[in-house]
Amino acid sequence: MSLVASESLQTFSKPLKSTSAPSKSYVLSLASLPSCYAASTSAPSNTIHLYDTSDLRVIATLGGHEEGVTSLRAVDTVGGKNVRRLISSGRDGTVKVWDERTGSVGIQMQSAGRGRALLCCDVSSDGVTVVAGTDLQGEDALLQYWDPRFPVVPLRSHSSTHSDDITALHFRHERSPGEHKNMLLSVSSDGLVCTSDADEPDEDEAVLHVGNWGCSIAQAGWMSPGSNGSAAAWASSDMETFSVWSNEMDLVQDLDIRSPSIHTPQLTWVTDYLIGCHRSVRDLHLFVGSNEGDIALINSSDLSSAGAPWRTRAVWSAGHVGVVRSHLWDERNNVLLTGGEDSKLNMWPGPPVEALQPDEGMNIDSPPRKRDYDVEMDDGSETLDHVCSDFSSNPWELF
């Protein structure tokens, strides 16, 4: 893997807006609603805050989970209702679908049996299947499925797909011809990358393909069908390695995301960790971070080829101190939100379109250098549009 600076590299040294999480906790996850942004925070608060999209003012606080919030995302359909909603999972063993009209939980699904921490969740494209992955208890880590229209008990639990903590789950929303309707990607600390048919009750028949990476996996996701050759899914490990997988879960590429760097008179960039990925229609964009709090956007011209060059498309600096834990690229408004261990939530200009176009070579005028820090931290639906606009004029909190 080689990394070079794009000819159209864009650099940003000041956020458009900045705020701190009210609880001074880590900002763990970010999601976008039609008229507001949502952020989950770490202990001790374990809450979810809603922010005004224009000035990042807190306009509501949702109760979150009794224990840590482990995942947060916005989905367009859940339980047969085509209304964009927040869904979250927690270490308290629950999956919650939030009703922003009242600030309360609209649907709650509970882990079966003895209390199990739920580490991740997702909703099928038709909104009638919810899945969550548990931590390891004894010899079992479970995939638990619910129909959110009948949320009292899980439809079923699959115990043999993974043998350690299940860390990420993603339904495939864009299907290729012949693919199963509800294909699920799951990864785990056991090193396995699996696809399953979520509609199949028999676990022996449900598992479709299995790849073994041999290391603990922290993140994963799908790529757009047909946009990256044989590359269908990506995964990242706890050791900051990055991998690409085929539809059959064969390993296509395996690399250390920290190994390539840029050292020129104009720019120094060294990646310390992967923040996360953003999938656009044609490309997979990787947001990577430095231990000093800088952020860069990099991508490859061909994720199916180990020899394809990687390019740094944009750099955002001076907004965080320390590790950046979450990101959200709002393409509709072309802004980037980042949240960190410094409790900061920053809004940045998004990468201009020209910065994402293919280019050759490197031609940089005067981008800023990666800096050393020695400073201390200072302390879409009509219903949701209506609700979030009401929040802006009449904020409230729910505990």
Q: What is the pLDDT of residues 141-176, one digit of tens each?
A: 999 999 999 999 999 999 999 999 999 999 998 766
Instruction: Give, in order, the Cα–Cα distances in Å from 40 to each of 69, 137, 342, 344, 346.
Output: 7, 25, 14, 12, 14
Q: Which residues contact 9 (CB under 8 A, 6 or more apart)?
A: 267, 312, 313, 314, 315, 355, 364, 367
Residue 177, pLDDT score: 62
Residue 319, pLDDT score: 97
Residue 23, pLDDT score: 81
Residue 178, pLDDT score: 64
The full set of domains in the chain, from first to last, is 3-393 (2.130.10.10)
Which residues of the chain are modeled with pLDDT < 50?
Answer: 361-399
Residue 231, CB-side half-sphere exposure with 13 Å CA sphere:
27
201 φ/ψ sector (left φ>0, alpha ψ -120 to 50, else beta): alpha
Residue 2, pLDDT score: 84
Residue 370, pLDDT score: 40
In terms of Cβ atoms closer than 10 Å to its own Cβ (0-12, 13-18, 19+), residue 164 is middle
- Considering Cα of 60, then 62, then 63, then 65, what sign does the dihedral take? negative
Residue 120, pLDDT score: 98
Containing 288, the helix (H) or strand (E) segment is strand 284-289
Residue 337, pLDDT score: 98
Residue 369, pLDDT score: 36
Kindly report whether the global pTM for this prediction surpasses the value 0.75: yes
Q: What is the pLDDT of residues 171-188, one digit of tens each?
A: 998 766 667 789 999 999
